[in-house]
């Protein structure tokens, strides 16, 4: 947009604010901390009840003082309007905190300026208390489909000298200004708030309450209302007795809704930046400011999305240096201009937009440069495509599970889960899903990062037809007989190998019946252990699947494994004839007892358990440990936390196997036990871990092993930010993927060659066939091993891609023979667990290499700031000097 | 799985056997007041009593002096060096027992000790230090005639500008021995144990590494005697502390040094140290010199390296992260009360109510006046909100939110005397945490060299074995027990003057306070 128009826009907004008597003081009305956020988009319109489950899943990320949802891409028939009206008209949603005020609002802000095509009050439950999860009665909400009266718009354009502006953009501006005026009159300027605009974009609806987000679905009866994009927010404000939902998320700007997880440190600076650009917040929260910021960069400056993201989350340090020279020049200009408007501190945005001018719907997730809030992206490919963004993986799983119930074309296991690396040169810390019609008129989804690079998707395309019931499928007698033969021998490895090798050839139907057979046979006590082991191997390993989607195979075998677990003898059965496994669930938790002779393993069905507290399943596990149980399997997890915590010292005889969406703080503080996570793990794993073994068959989240003291840890995949900070003692860790940033900051774990700790970073991934593929960079971030004073990082980096600038207080040294002897046993165990062979790791570009050619060692340098030894007594001084 | 309340005998039901095995019989320490004179031959004194060569050792001075300044040991002919620190100074002139006047030889002279001009600082004046020593020695508030200003310092702000408006006489006559100074720490009613401490204060966190074994143990023993708590700080849980488990708060601080499940499971209170008021935004740090072999061992870190605790917790960037963090510790220790220690930023009220919502039993706000020599000068007093503002703000905010009686508000940061404690409570706190006063009771001279070289020249805040050997545990314990007693006596006297039966009646009574800069009231 030309600068003159930008100035005129600014002038117009300033004049408006002055006319409304806007008070120019910057203040912040409410504080809030972390929250739960989730968003998903789908090529098919999805019913509102599917935002209910993930919201419920994130219940404990909010405190019931504010919840909200937004829907973009609605279905015209359900709203009683034509497609054209839905696409072209603005959908005004106005919250009436005081129902009596409607006539006044309409006569002043609707009827004089708008042509109203349709209007109605949103349906609602008559008794709000019956809904539950609501703190106060939600506002009455009125919806209006409107266009600005042509004469009104003409006058507006003339008065503001917008003649050169696109007429639709001028109309957008009019609508925005009208909402500003309405809010100012009925909300911001009053001692008491009476009404405010929830949303005013096209084809978008925002609803908020004082309560939990899921209550909205019930209260406004939108269980069946369909939309292509839904976002939801559980709020955790910490101040004020909130009695109206004005401060709840999502916040609206033109054609968009934004939810936010975090808290800016520089709210005042950002507000000041906006004020200088004639943008005036009315709701005094940092989320509103975020929406306004995005709207300013988008609608006033007409920045492409990439620039907007750069202005919000600037690229810094080494990542900046790795940008192309053109991008560096461009980003420098953006940063110079907009750094004061860049939100500082922890934040994660999910934005749902209607990009009307390009006829597409968009769902965006953006993380801050430091990645201080958790975030997970996921995608489900197929005939129906789903893109998902959430603060916790279990919210994604809950959404997919729920959607799969309605539409069997959707698989509850996503094809891909990943994290964004904030402010990076690789993905820019942001991913977006676009919904757009293809040539045939079908809506298809594309997924790309900040730079517009498409996210690579699995090449397998064959989907399983989940509409068919397994029981109705014909069993393949030959397959069944082979399974029985292996089971008779108790040969799990052989059966796994057999099933695995059959996978590329078999149809989904054969596979499903085979797994069903295995599950059914497994309920017999002599087969249980073998069957569980086979399912577990199939779940944990990667292998060629032909053209079949791995996600669908995983879903099938996980379903069958859960079936097997649920068929095991209940805790109420005490007869040793029933074998060594006992099943306990929410209903039978009260019957927990000590194991009798022959009983070895307690299988805990986690379905329905809350995530924490005296009634969570980890507490049940603790209780079982106190009664003498030592081996545990917990399955069908939905983000429950704290498994393995609290069992105290010397638990070498304890093993815990976790299946499903495990939660935060798993294996924290363990001292001796073995914990295995059969899938992706979440945040804060292995805090202060003392001793024992933790195996993760997937990725892990933030602040892994903070303050760890020891333990042997094996991770198949990647880690998010800030792993192994402040580790001391002797933790020994193998990470086969990589980590986002700050790996091993302030590592203080002695001398690895003399009993200290270390991290082996392999920097590889397994492709879809289970083959080793090196990552583009073994460690892409900055601050590797920064300010470390002990321990070492062994990084697999044959091409010497990690550079000194990435270290901050570390140095590269040659890998010695002693180093290799030290790490080899760990790589061998890694091979046993994940099938990643030492031989393959030592093979570079097809050629076998020596360890020292492949691995590099990072050791701490003695920083002056850290080592003040002057005043130590002579003997100790010598000791320190010798170590340095 | 109903909620529960834990008694001693129930520990078996909630602690894993291996943790219980690490539990040792709990030590009892008698709450006896006994003299604990200076461990130096000549205690620093406010006045010096000089004896000239004209003295004929007639003994007249010893006869008149009621304070024991003049000592002639059994069987000796000559008098010892006068015990000047017991002398009340020129104020004695008006009395009948003024030795200078009584001396037939005019051999005695009282002069002000020039050292007092250099002892202490504006916050901890020489008078305050000397008075605290006196309390630690005798177990009682120094008598008025000693002339110590023992209630306030001379900082020109903060508590030094606040005074109580005492009525001319007590409005109700309460018997002093019926006055209750105890406070309850668990107000949530969540089934976790009720924990009551006999005095409205407990000891602040000072890690092994920052102070010596002897210092840490003396604190633990005094707290055991007074049925209150001491805190391990973040440097790990010393084995020697185990006989005092029931009176120990262990810290989960940002460095997580020495934190293990069994250390968390041992104690009745776990404190989350998010920040220190003396140095908000900086985290703890232990400079290389003090990271001796013993410290390096307990922290499992590298010898001689400066140990920095990050700021903030890397795992907590929001209130809901904080809740999760608390839930984790609650899961590990099913009887523990949780305390959240934060500094006092501008939005401390919001932080406090958020911590309550997340499940804290105790909200501990730490203002900017405190801090030993290890806190950088640039940070002390200059970042955090003054504690006297923060207390009122948080107290009122919790009241407005309707949760004031569900949470215990503890204030700290430069509380030096019983009067400071009473003022903090009158402003709205339930109780306080003390730190530096205990060091002073043990002989600290506020030289501010805590962090340098081998540490404290007085052998208090040091890990140097030679320096630490200058003090023994029995003496240290007695000094602290004595100081606690003097403080409690003073609090009881203060409540008595207001006609109050319990310290909880004083909470939030700002109407009883005046600020010297903003009042026309005449100071009494």
Tell me the residues of chain B between 305 and 324 that have a Cβ less than 8 Å away from chain A. Answer: 305-310, 313-315, 317-324
Residue B241, classed as helix, strand or coil, is helix
The answer to whether the CB of A835 falls within 8 A of the CB of A541 is yes
Tell me the residues of chain A between 192 and 251 that have a Cβ less than 8 Å away from chain B. Answer: 236, 238-239, 241
Per-residue pLDDT reduced to its tens digit, B8-52? 558 888 899 999 998 899 999 999 999 999 998 888 999 999 999
Q: What percent of chain A has pLDDT over 70?
A: 95
Per-residue pLDDT reduced to its tens digit, A628-637? 999 999 999 9
Nearest to A422 by CA among A313, A328, A549, A544: A313
Give the minimum alpha-carbon distance from A441 to chain B in angstroms, rounded to a whole number.
Answer: 44
Q: In chain A, whose CA is at the least distance from the CA of B312?
A: A372
- Residue A28 pLDDT: 60
CA of A500: how far to CAs of A493, A496, B472, in Å? 10, 6, 71
Q: Tokens 């900040």 identify what position?
A: A450
- Residue B1 pLDDT: 31
**Mean pLDDT for the stretch of residues A332-358:** 94
Does the pLDDT value for residue A796 go beyond 70? yes
End-to-end CA separation in angstroms for chain B = 58
Residues of B in contact with A664 (CB under 8 A): 324
A42 vs B: CB within 8 A: no
Q: In what helix (H) or strand (E) does residue B297 lie, and over which residues does it extend?
A: helix B293-299
Asked if B261 lies within 8 A of A870 by C-beta distance, the reply is no
**Mean pLDDT for the stretch of residues A335-354:** 94
Tell me the residues of chain A between 781 and 820 that have a Cβ less than 8 Å away from chain B. Answer: 787, 789-790
Residues in contact with A658: Cβ distance below 8 Å, sequence separation at least 6, in sequence order: A634, A635, A637, A643, A666, A675, A676, A677, A678, A679
Using CA atoms in the order A537, A541, A545, A547, what is the torsion angle rounded to 10 degrees?
A: 140
B149 vs A: CB within 8 A: no
Interface test with B, best of A701, A728, A861 (most B CBs within 10 A): A728
Torsion angles phi and psi, residue A153, rounded to 5: -65, -40
- Give the span between the Cα atoms of A592 and A572, in whole angstroms: 8
CA of A290: how far to CAs of A267, A280, A285, A366, A473, in Å? 10, 12, 9, 12, 53
Nearest to A430 by CA among A490, A368, A370, A486: A368
- Give the span between the Cα atoms of A604 and A618, in whole angstroms: 9
Q: Rounded to the nearest 10 degrees, what angle do helices A49-57 and A393-406 cross at?
A: 150
What secondary structure does DSSP assign to A482-547, as a single string?
Answer: HHHHHHHHT-HHHHHHHHHHHTTTS-HHHHHHHHHHHHHHHTSTTTHHHHHHHHHHHHH-----TT
Interface test with B, best of A63, A391, A648 (most B CBs within 10 A): A648
E-strand spans in A288-398?
A: 347-355, 360-367, 376-380, 386-390
**Mean pLDDT for the stretch of residues A402-406:** 92
CA of A640: how far to CAs of A57, A588, A635, A658, in Å? 10, 18, 11, 11
* Residue A860, token pair as written in the block: 């701490």
Using CA atoms in the order A71, A73, A76, A80, what is the torsion angle rounded to 10 degrees?
A: 20
Contacts for A869-875: CB closer than 8 Å, 24+ residues apart: A869/B288, A869/B289, A869/B304, A870/B289, A871/B289, A871/B452, A871/B453, A871/B454, A872/B288, A872/B289, A872/B292, A872/B304
- Residue B318 pLDDT: 81
- Residue B434 pLDDT: 94
E-strand spans in A8-164?
A: 36-47, 67-74, 90-96, 114-121, 140-148
The answer to whether the CB of A538 falls within 8 A of the CB of A512 is no
Residues linked to residue A262 through DSSP beta bridges, in sequence order: A347
pLDDT band for A883, please (50, 70, 90 cuts): very low
pTM score, whole prediction: 0.91
Asked if B301 lies within 8 A of A728 by C-beta distance, the reply is yes
- What's the farthest any 2 CA atoms get from each other in chain A? 91
| Winning range, highest mean pLDDT, from B209-218, B313-322, B480-489 | B480-489
- Residue B302 pLDDT: 82
pLDDT band for B4, please (50, 70, 90 cuts): very low
* Residue B155, token pair as written in the block: 């900082």
- Please state the separation of Cα A650 from the chain's center in Å: 34
- Residue B202 pLDDT: 97
- What's the farthest any 2 CA atoms get from each other in chain B? 83
**Mean pLDDT for the stretch of residues B399-415:** 94
- Residue A190 pLDDT: 59
What secondary structure does DSSP assign to B465-498, as a single string?
Answer: HHHHTTS-HHHHHHHHHHHHHHHHHHHHHHHHHH
- Give the span between the Cα atoms of B247 and A568, in whole angstroms: 47
Does the pLDDT value for residue A26 go beyond 90? no
Tell me the residues of chain B between 434 and 453 that have a Cβ less than 8 Å away from chain A. Answer: 452-453
Residues in contact with A705: Cβ distance below 8 Å, sequence separation at least 6, in sequence order: A685, A686, A687, A689, A711, A713, A723, A724, A727, A731, A733
For chain A, how big is the Rg over CA atoms in Å?
29
Q: In chain A, whose CA is at the least distance from the CA of B320?
A: A34
Interface test with B, best of A866, A877, A882, A883 (most B CBs within 10 A): A866
Per-residue pLDDT reduced to its tens digit, A409-420? 999 999 999 999
* Inter-chain Cβ pairs, chain A and chain B, closer than 8 A: 216
CA of A308: how far to CAs of A40, A334, A340, in Å? 21, 9, 14
- Give the span between the Cα atoms of A539 and A557, in whole angstroms: 7
- Residue B2 pLDDT: 32
Give B237's DSSP letter.
Answer: -
- Residue A394 pLDDT: 86
Q: In chain A, whose CA is at the least distance from the CA of B357?
A: A238
pLDDT band for B234, please (50, 70, 90 cuts): confident
Asked if B354 lies within 8 A of A31 by C-beta distance, the reply is yes
Per-residue pLDDT reduced to its tens digit, A37-84? 899 999 999 999 998 888 887 777 777 778 899 999 999 999 999 999
Give the minimum alpha-carbon distance from A623 to chain B in angstroms, rounded to a whole number.
Answer: 9
Per-residue pLDDT reduced to its tens digit, A71-119? 999 999 999 999 999 999 999 999 999 999 999 999 999 999 999 999 9
SS3 track for B402-445:
CCHHHCEEEEECCCCCHHHHHHHHHHCCCEEEECHHHHHHCCCC
Lowest mean pLDDT among B96-100, B139-143, B206-210, B387-391: B206-210
- Give the span between the Cα atoms of A61 and B320, in whole angstroms: 6
Residues linked to residue A671 through DSSP beta bridges, in sequence order: A691
**Mean pLDDT for the stretch of residues A279-298:** 91
pLDDT band for B287, please (50, 70, 90 cuts): confident
- Residue A517 pLDDT: 96
Residue A3 burial (CB count, 10 A): 8
For chain B, how big is the Rg over CA atoms in Å?
24
Per-residue pLDDT reduced to its tens digit, A589-608? 999 999 999 999 999 999 99
Q: What percent of chain B has pLDDT over 90?
A: 63
- Residue B9 pLDDT: 53
Tell me the residues of chain A between 368 and 387 that have a Cβ less than 8 Å away from chain B. Answer: 372-373
Per-residue pLDDT reduced to its tens digit, B468-501? 888 999 999 999 999 999 999 999 999 999 999 9
Q: In chain A, whose CA is at the least distance from the CA of B455?
A: A871
Residues of A in contact with B357 (CB under 8 A): 63, 238
Asked if A373 lies within 8 A of B308 by C-beta distance, the reply is no
- Residue A870 pLDDT: 39
Torsion angles phi and psi, residue A642, rounded to 5: 70, 25
Per-residue pLDDT reduced to its tens digit, A465-485? 999 999 999 888 999 999 999
- Residue A34 pLDDT: 58
**Whether the bond into B183 is cis, omega within 30 of 0:** no
- Residue B369 pLDDT: 81
Does the pLDDT value for residue B80 go beyond 80? yes
Asked if A625 lies within 8 A of B305 by C-beta distance, the reply is no
């Amino acid at each position: 947009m030309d600068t003159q128009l930008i100035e005129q826009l600014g002038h117009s907004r300033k004049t408006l604010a002055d006319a409304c008597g806007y008070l120019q003081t910057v203040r912040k009305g409410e504080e809030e901390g972390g929250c739960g956020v989730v968003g998903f988009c789908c090529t098919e319109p999805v019913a509102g009840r599917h935002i209910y489950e993930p919201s419920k899943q994130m219940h404990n990320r909010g405190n019931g003082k504010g919840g909200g949802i937004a829907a973009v891409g609605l279905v015209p028939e359900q709203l009683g309007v034509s497609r054209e009206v839905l696409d072209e008209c603005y959908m005004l949603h106005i919250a009436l905190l005081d129902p009596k005020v409607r006539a006044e609002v309409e006569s002043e802000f609707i009827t004089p300026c708008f042509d109203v095509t349709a209007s109605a009050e949103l349906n609602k439950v008559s008794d709000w208390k019956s809904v539950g999860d609501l703190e106060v009665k939600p506002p009455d909400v009125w919806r209006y489909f409107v266009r600005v009266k042509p004469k009104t718009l003409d006058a507006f354009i003339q008065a503001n000298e917008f003649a050169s502006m696109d007429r639709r953009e001028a109309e957008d501006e009019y609508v925005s200004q009208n909402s500003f005026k309405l809010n100012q009159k009925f909300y911001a300027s009053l001692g008491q708030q009476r009404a405010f605009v929830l949303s005013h974009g096209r084809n978008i609806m925002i609803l908020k309450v004082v309560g939990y987000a899921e209550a909205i679905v019930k209260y406004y009866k939108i269980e069946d209302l369909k939309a292509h994009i839904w976002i939801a927010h559980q709020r955790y404000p910490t101040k004020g007795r909130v009695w109206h939902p004005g401060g709840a998320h999502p916040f609206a700007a033109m054609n968009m809704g934004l939810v936010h997880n975090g808290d800016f440190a520089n709210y005042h600076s950002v507000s000041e930046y906006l004020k200088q650009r004639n943008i005036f917040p009315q709701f005094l929260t940092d989320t509103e400011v975020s929406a306004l910021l995005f709207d300013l960069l988008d609608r006033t400056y007409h920045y492409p999305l990439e620039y907007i993201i750069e202005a919000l989350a600037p690229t810094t340090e080494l990542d900046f240096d790795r940008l192309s020279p053109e991008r560096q020049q461009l980003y420098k200009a953006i940063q110079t201009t907009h750094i004061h408007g860049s939100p500082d501190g922890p934040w994660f945005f999910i934005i749902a937009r209607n990009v009307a001018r390009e006829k597409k719907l968009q769902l965006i997730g953006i993380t801050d440069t430091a990645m201080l809030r958790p975030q997970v992206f996921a995608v489900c490919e197929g005939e129906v495509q789903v893109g998902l963004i959430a603060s916790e993986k279990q919210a994604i799983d809950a959404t997919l599970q729920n959607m799969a119930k309605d539409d069997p074309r959707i698989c509850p296991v996503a094809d891909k889960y990943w994290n964004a690396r904030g402010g990076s040169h690789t993905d820019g810390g942001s991913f977006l899903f676009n919904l757009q019609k293809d040539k045939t008129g079908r809506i298809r989804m594309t997924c790309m990062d900040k730079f517009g690079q498409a996210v690579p998707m699995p090449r397998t395309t064959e989907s399983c037809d989940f509409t068919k019931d397994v029981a109705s499928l014909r069993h393949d007698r030959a397959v069944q007989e082979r399974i029985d033969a292996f089971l008779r021998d108790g040969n799990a490895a052989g059966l796994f190998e057999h099933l695995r090798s059959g996978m590329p050839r078999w149809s989904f139907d054969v596979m499903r019946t085979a797994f069903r057979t295995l599950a059914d046979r497994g309920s017999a006590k002599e087969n249980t252990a073998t069957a569980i082991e086979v399912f577990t191997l199939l779940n944990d390993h990667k292998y060629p699947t032909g053209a079949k989607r791995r996600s669908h195979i995983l879903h099938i075998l996980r379903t069958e494994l859960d079936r097997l677990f649920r068929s095991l003898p209940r805790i109420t059965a005490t007869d040793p004839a029933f074998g060594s496994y006992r099943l306990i669930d929410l209903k039978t938790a009260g019957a927990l007892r000590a194991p009798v002779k022959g009983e070895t393993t307690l299988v805990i069905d986690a379905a329905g358990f809350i995530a924490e507290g005296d009634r969570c399943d980890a507490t049940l596990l603790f209780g079982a440990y106190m009664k003498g149980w030592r081996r545990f399997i917990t399955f069908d997890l939905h983000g429950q936390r704290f498994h393995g915590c609290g069992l105290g010292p010397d638990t070498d005889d304890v093993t815990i196997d976790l299946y499903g969406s495990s939660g935060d703080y798993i294996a924290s503080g363990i001292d001796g036990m073995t914990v295995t996570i059969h899938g992706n793990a979440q945040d804060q794993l292995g805090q202060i871990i003392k001793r024992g073994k933790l195996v993760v068959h997937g990725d892990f989240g933030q602040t892994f092993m903070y303050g760890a003291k020891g333990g042997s840890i094996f991770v198949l995949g990647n880690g998010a930010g800030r792993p192994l900070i402040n580790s001391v003692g002797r933790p020994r860790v193998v990470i086969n993927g990589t980590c986002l940033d700050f790996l091993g900051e302030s590592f203080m774990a002695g001398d690895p060659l003399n009993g200290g700790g270390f991290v082996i970073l392999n920097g590889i991934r397994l492709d879809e066939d289970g083959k080793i593929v090196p990552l583009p960079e073994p460690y892409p971030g900055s601050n590797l091993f920064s300010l470390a004073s002990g321990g070492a990082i062994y990084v697999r980096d044959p091409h010497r891609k990690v550079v000194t600038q990435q270290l901050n207080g570390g140095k590269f040294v040659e890998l010695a023979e002693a180093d290799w002897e030290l790490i080899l046993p760990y790589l061998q165990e890694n091979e046993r667990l994940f099938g990643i062979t030492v031989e393959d790791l030592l093979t570079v570009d097809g050629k076998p290499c020596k360890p020292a050619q492949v691995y590099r060692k990072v050791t701490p340098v003695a920083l002056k700031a850290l080592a003040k030894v002057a005043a130590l007594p002579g003997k100790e001084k010598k000791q320190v000097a010798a170590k340095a | 799985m109903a909620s529960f309340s834990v008694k001693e005998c129930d520990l078996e039901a909630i602690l894993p056997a291996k943790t219980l095995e690490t539990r040792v019989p709990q030590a009892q320490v008698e709450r006896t007041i006994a003299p604990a004179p200076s461990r130096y031959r000549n205690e620093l004194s406010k006045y010096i009593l000089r004896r000239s060569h004209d003295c004929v050792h007639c003994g007249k001075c010893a006869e008149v002096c009621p304070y024991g300044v003049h000592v002639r040991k059994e069987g000796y002919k000559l008098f010892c060096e006068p015990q000047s620190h017991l002398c009340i100074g020129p104020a004695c002139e008006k009395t009948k027992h003024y030795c200078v006047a009584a001396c037939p030889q005019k051999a005695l002279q009282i002069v002000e000790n020039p050292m007092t001009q250099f002892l202490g600082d504006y916050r901890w004046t020489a008078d305050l230090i000397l008075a605290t020593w006196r309390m630690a020695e005798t177990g009682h508030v120094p008598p008025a005639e000693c002339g110590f200003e023992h209630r306030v310092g001379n900082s020109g702000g903060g508590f030094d500008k606040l005074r109580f408006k005492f009525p001319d006489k007590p409005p109700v006559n309460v018997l002093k021995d019926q006055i209750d100074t105890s406070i309850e720490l668990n107000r949530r009613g969540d089934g976790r144990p009720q924990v009551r401490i006999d005095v409205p204060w407990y000891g602040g966190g000072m890690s092994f590494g920052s102070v010596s074994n002897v210092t840490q143990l003396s604190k633990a023993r005094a707290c055991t005697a007074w049925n209150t708590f001491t805190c391990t700080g973040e440097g790990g849980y010393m084995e020697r502390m185990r006989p005092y488990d029931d009176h120990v708060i262990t810290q989960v601080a940002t460095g997580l040094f020495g934190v293990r499940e069994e250390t968390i499971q041992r104690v009745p209170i776990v404190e989350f140290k998010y920040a220190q008021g003396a140095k908000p935004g900086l985290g703890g740090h232990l400079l290389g010199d003090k990271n001796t072999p013993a410290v390096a061992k307990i922290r499992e870190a590298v010898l001689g390296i400066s140990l920095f605790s990050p700021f903030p917790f890397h795992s907590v960037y929001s209130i809901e992260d904080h809740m999760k963090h608390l839930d984790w510790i609650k899961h590990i220790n099913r009887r523990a009360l949780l305390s959240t220690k934060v500094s006092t930023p501008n939005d401390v009220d919001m932080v406090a109510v958020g911590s309550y919502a997340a499940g804290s039993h105790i909200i501990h706000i730490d203002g900017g006046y405190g801090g030993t020599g290890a806190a950088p000068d640039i940070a002390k007093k200059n970042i955090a909100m003054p504690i006297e503002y923060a207390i009122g703000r948080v107290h009122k905010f919790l009241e407005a939110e309707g949760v004031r009686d569900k949470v215990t508000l503890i204030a700290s940061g430069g509380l030096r005397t019983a009067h400071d404690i009473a003022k903090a409570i009158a402003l709205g706190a339930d109780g306080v945490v003390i730190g530096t006063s205990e060091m002073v009771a043990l002989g600290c001279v506020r030289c501010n060299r805590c962090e340098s070289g081998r540490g404290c020249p007085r052998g208090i805040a040091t890990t140097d074995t030679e320096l630490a050997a200058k003090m023994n545990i029995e003496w240290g314990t007695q000094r602290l027990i004595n100081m606690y007693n003097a403080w409690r006596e003073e609090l009881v006297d203060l409540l008595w003057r207001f006609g109050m039966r319990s310290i909880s009646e004083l909470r939030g009574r700002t109407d009883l306070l005046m600020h010297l800069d903003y009042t026309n009231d005449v100071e009494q």
